[in-house]
Structure 1
Amino acid sequence: MPAKPAPIKKAAKKELPEKKVEKAPEPAPEPEPAPVEPEAAPAAVEEAPPAETPAEGAAEAPAEVVVEAPPPPPPADSADATEATADPEASTDPAANADPTAETPVAEEPKAPTPPPPPPKEPTSAPLDLFIEDKNDTSVSIIWSQPETVGDSGLDGYLIEVCKDGTEDWKAVNEELHKSTRYAIKNQTTGDKLKIRVVAVNAGGRSAPGALPEAVLVKEVADRPKVRLPRFLRQRYVANVGAKINLTVPFTGKPKPVVTWTKDGQPLDTKRVQIRSTERDSILFIRVSVREDSGVYEMCVKVDDFEDKATLILQIVELPGAPATAKIVDTWGFNVALEWTPPVDSGNTEIIGYTIQKADKKTGDWFTVLDHYHRMNATISDLVMGNIYKFRVFSENKVGMSEDAVVTKGEAKILKTGHIDYKPLPFTEHDYSEPPKFTVSLADRAATVGYSTKLLCSVRGSPKPKIEWLKNQMIIGDDPKYRQICVQGICTLEIRKPGNYDGGVYMCRAKNSCGEATVHCKLEVKQPINPDAEKK
C-alpha cells in the first residue's frame, strides 16, 4: 500500500502595509485550473490549491483594498505540485504572473472646472436732500437722506468733503466713515465760503456726490432778538425785605444777543444786583433785598441793528410804621370818639387797615375792640362807668401789622351820673299805603264738562285789599261750586266740575281804603269728545 503523501503546510499570510488605491483595475478572467496527473508516487500531492491571484483580490476589494502576499511555493519534495504550480498554462493573465509586492499605479484625480469670476460690485446712488441745518461763526451743520439705491453690497458710511469756493481742492473732513445722516463741520474760518458735498461708500467704491447747490458762508445766522418775559413778571413783582431775588428772563436771537440792564434809566449797581446772561436767558440776582432795590428795571437785548426791550417793576416791602398821631375827640355817656392820622412810613405799600385797642387804667391790660378797620376815626362804645381808659392804634399793610402803635395822649373817664333822661327824637312813620294793583292778570281759559279748572291772578296793595269774584257781573259769594283762595297776593278761583252753563266772563275785584282794581277773563266750557259716537 503506497504511503500517504506528507501534508502540505499552508504558509501564513504575511501582512503588508496597507495601500490605498483610488480605483481598482478591472478583474481579469479567472484562469482554468491546471490539470493534475494521477497519483504515481507516494510523495505526490493529491491536489494543490489554486493560488490566489491579485486579479481575484482586486475584483472583490472595495475602493480602498489591501494587497496580500500570495502563499509560498510548496516544498521541494513535491515535484508534481511544483510542476503544477510552475506550469505556465496555469494562468495566462499577466496580472496573475505579476509581482504581488509591486505598487498598483494610482489614477490621477480629475481637476474641477474653474468657476467664472463674480460680477463686479456696484457703488450706491448719490445721497439725497442735502441741506444746511444750522451754522455759526466756526461750524456748519448739515443733514441729508440715504441714497435711493443701496444694492447688495450695503452701505459702509459717508465721506463729507469741503473745498473753498472758486477751487476744486476737495478734502474730507472726517477720517473715518460717518454712519449718521447728520454732521457738524467744525473749526472753520469765519467769513469763508465753502462748497460741501457728501459721498456714500460701500464695497463697490464711492458713489456720485450729493452737493449743496451753492457755497455756504461761515457766519452766524442773524435772527431778530425777542424777550420772552414770563407772565408773573408782567405785573408788579412784590417781595419782602431780606428776601432773595432770583428772576430769569428768557430771550431768543442769533448770534448771541448783547444783554444790558438798567434801573430807573440808570446803570445797575453791580455791588447790589448781579446779572448772569447765557445764550438763552438772563438772570437778575439779589442776595439780600432792601427797600432801595425797588424800582423799574429794563432789559434790552440787541443783535446788530435790532433790539428788543422788556420792563419789570420790583417792589420790596416791609412792615409799616405806627400811625403818626391819635387823640380822643369826645367822651359822652359810655362812648369815646377817636381820630388818628396815617403812618409816615407805609412799608413801601398801601395801608389796608388799622387795629384799635383799649386798656383800663386799673389793670393795664390791652384788648382789641376793632381790627381791619379802614377809616381813621372810630367810636368806642360799651365802656364801664367810672373807669379811665387809654387807647392805641396799629397800622396794617400786606406784610402785616406794625410793630409799634401810637397811644392817645389824653385819657377818657367815664363819669357816674345819678339819672339820665333819654329823650328820643320824634319819629314819623313812613306811609306805605298803596291802592290795589294786579301784577298778573287773568287769562282766558277753555275747560271740559266734568273736569275741574282754576283761574289765577296776583294783586298787591296796602292795606291788604279785599278780594271778590264775579261771574257775568254777579258776585259769586259762598257758592259751594266755587272755591276762593287768596294767599300772599295770589288769588285762585277753583270751579269744581263745570257744566254747560258755567261758561262766561269771570272778574276778580280788589278793594282797600286807597282804591280798587279789577281784571277779567273768558271761560269756555266744551263737551267731551266721545270716540264711540264718531265711529257711529
Structure 2
Amino acid sequence: MCYNVEFKPKSVDKWGTACTVKVPEATIPNLTPNEIYSFRVVAINEKGKSEPKELGLPVTAKDVAIEPSVNLLFNTYTVKAGEDLTVEVPVRGRPKPVVSWKKDALPLKQTSSVTILNSVTASKILIKEAGREHVGKYEITLANTGGTVSADIGIIVLDKPGPPKAFKVDAVTSDSITVSWSPPDYDGGCSISSYIVEKRDTNSQEWQLVASNVARNAFKAGRLTHRAEDTVVVKSGETLKINADLAGRPAPVVSWTKDGKEIELRARIQIISTETSTSVIIKDCIRRDSGQYTLTLQNIAGTVTMPVKCVILDKPGPCAGPLQTTGLTAEKCNLSWGPPQEAGGAEITHYVVEKRETSRLAWTLVKGDLLKTYLQVTGLLKGNEYIFRVLAVNKHGLGEALQCDTVKITDPFTVPLAPFSVEVTEVTGDSMTLTWSKPVTDGGSPISGYVVERLEKTSTRWIRVNREPVVECTTVARKLRKGLEYDFRVYAENAAGLSPPSPARNESGKYSITLENPSGSKTITYTVKVMDTPGAPQALAVQEVGRGSVTLTWEPPINDGGARIHHYIVERREASRRTWQQSGGKCTKQILKIQNLLEGVPYFFRVSAENQHGLGEALELTDPTIATAEPSSPKRMDILDTTDTSVALGWLKPEHDGGSRIQCYVVEVRAKGTDKWMVVGNTKNLTFSVEKLNKGDEYDFRVKAKNESGLSQPKETLASVLVKEPHIEPAADLSEIINHVCVCVCVSLCSRLLHENAMLSLAVTSF
C-alpha cells in the first residue's frame, strides 16, 4: 500500500507525480517560489490505483513569515573576575533572523576574550577570563522579514573596586590635613562598604594606616609631624632652583651635598652664594637629579644642616638588573628582575616584557600589563636564540629597557661526553668483543645506551654494529671478515642526543723512556703516530657571495691522521633537503668557488679532508648561505650625532657585496608610530646626515646597500632617535653662557626660622 502525490502548477493542465510515500503525509521539495499549485493524492494497492483526492484550494509556494522572538533565560548574569562566562539566548523566527549584539549601545566586537556563536535556535556569547572591561549592558537584536525584536542583558563581574577619584586636600593645619574624594567609577559589582586612608612621610617609602572603616568621602588626618621635610617636585627638562637665606657671625662656611656627596659643578649645575644667601640651580633636570640636597652652614658658634628632598617627574629608569633567566627548557624560561632605582617620582604601575629572536630586529610583546617582577615565558621555539627586555611604566610613560644577554632555548641538559678507553678484549674468526668506559659526565641526563660503529681499514664508510643501543659498556661485533683490520668507535646517547665519538688517536704523541742506575740516567724520546683518517678542517668561512655562486675558505685539520692530506671534498645541500651533493670534485687547495647555485635558495656547506687512510670528519657551516647577486645588509647602524633638526648616521660595509661593487647606500627615515618609510638620500660614504627633521620628534632610520643587481635587506637603528640639541659641557669661559631659566621651582630655607607648613603624602584605597 502506498500513495502517489501529484501536483499541477496553475498555468499547466498536466498533472505530474511529486513523490510516492507509504505514510499519509509528504513534503514536496523543489517548488518555484510564489507559484500557485494544485495537489492531489492517489492510493495504490496490488489491485490498482484509486480515484485521486484533490486538495480543496490551490496553494502558493512561499515561506510563512514568523516574527522573531527572544526567550531570555536570565536578565542579569554575575561572574567572578577571572572566570569564564557563557550567555545563551534561545531565538526563534522564520526565515532565520539576523542576530546582532551591542555593548553599552556600541556594536560588540569579537576579541581574544569575547566570542559570539550563532545557531538556528540560539545565540551565545563566550567570555574568557571575565574582567572589568566585560561589565555593562548587552543588547541582542533579531531581524527578519517578519519584524525586529531586541532584549537587554546585564553582566556584572565581581572584583575589587577601582581607585577613588578626585582625591584632594581641603584644609591644612599645623598637625592635620582634611582630604576628600569621589567614589570609584567601578564598584566591583557590590556597593562600597568603606574606605581605607593611609599616609606616609615624604622621606619614607612606607605607608601607614590612618583609618580603615571610613564610610564617608572625606576624612581629617590628625597627629601629623610638625615641620616635615621640604620636598621640591620638578618635571623633567625644567629648571630646579633651591634658595636659602644665610645668617651668622662670623659669616658661616656654605657647603651643598646631594645624597651625602659633594655636588659636582657642571654646565647645567651652578651654586651661587653671597653673604646673605645661597642657591643651587640645575637646568634641564633629568631623572638622576632626584635625591636629598643638604645645605650645611658652619662657623665657630656651631653647625646647622637643612635637608631638601627633590623629586624629578619623569619616565622610570631601567629596572634593577641583571635580567635573570632561569628554569630554561626547550620551550620556556623564567625571567626575574628588580624594581627600578629611579621611579621617576611616581609609582610604578606595571611592567612590559618583550622578546626578539637574534635573527630579527623587531621586538614582540610578551606581556604588557605585568604587575610582578617575574614572568614565565612560554611558547618559545627549541634551538632559537632570544633576547628579552623589560621596561617599567609609570604615569609619565614607558621607562628605559633592561636587556638580558642572548638566551638559547634548549633543554637544561646537553649531550654526554664521549666514551673512552675502547678496547678489544677477545677476537674470534668472525667476531670481536669490545669494552669501553663510561663518559666522565652524562650531560645532566642519564645515558640510555651506546651506539657502536666499525670501519674496515680499506674503506671510508663507518657501519653501525648494533641496531638497538647497548645498555652495558660491552658488546660483541659479529659477522666480521676474517683477516681484515677494523677500527671501532662508540657514542653515548641521552635525551639530548648522541655524544661525540670515542677518541681514536689518543695514543699519538711523544713518549719518553728513562733508564736510571747509580751511575746516572738516560732519557730517550720517541714520536708515535697513529695512522688514521684526518680530523675535521678548521675555520670554514664564506669569503664571497655572488649571483649563483659562493666562495669558501678553510684551514687544514689539526690532526692529519699521520699522513699527508691529498685533497678536500666540499659538499652542499639545500636547507630544505637532507641529502648532500659533492661540489667541485677533489679540491687540492683551501679555497673553492661553488657555482651554478639557485639564486635565493639557502644552502649549507661542509668540507672534509682525505688522506691515504680515507675521508675524515666533516666541518659544516652552522648557518645557511644564500647565493644572491644582491649584497648583504650593512652592519652596525650607529647614531653619530644629533642636533635640533638633524641626525648623523654611520654604518659598516656589508659582509658580502653580491659579487659586484657597492654603488651607493640608500638612507630611509620613518616617523615613530607610522609605517611609511621615506627615502631621504643616498651616499657612497659610510656616513650620512639627515636634515630638516622636526625638533622633539622621534624617528627610525635604516640603510640599504645597492649594487648593479639591486638593493640589500635594510639595516635599522635599534631604537627610535629623539631629535634635540645635545648638551655639551663648555670648554672654557663660563661667563659667556647665557643663564636662561624656563621654569623655576624655588624653596626658601632659613637657618633661623622653621616653617609652620608640614608636607605629607596621603593615599586612599577602597574595598
Q: Tell me the TM-score normalized by structure 1.
A: 0.33
Higher radius of gyration, 1 or 2: 1
More helix by share: 1
Q: Using CA pairs under 8 Å that are at least 6 residues apart, name the structure with larger relative contact order, 1 or 2.
A: 2
Q: Tell me the TM-score normalized by structure 2.
A: 0.24
More strand by share: 2
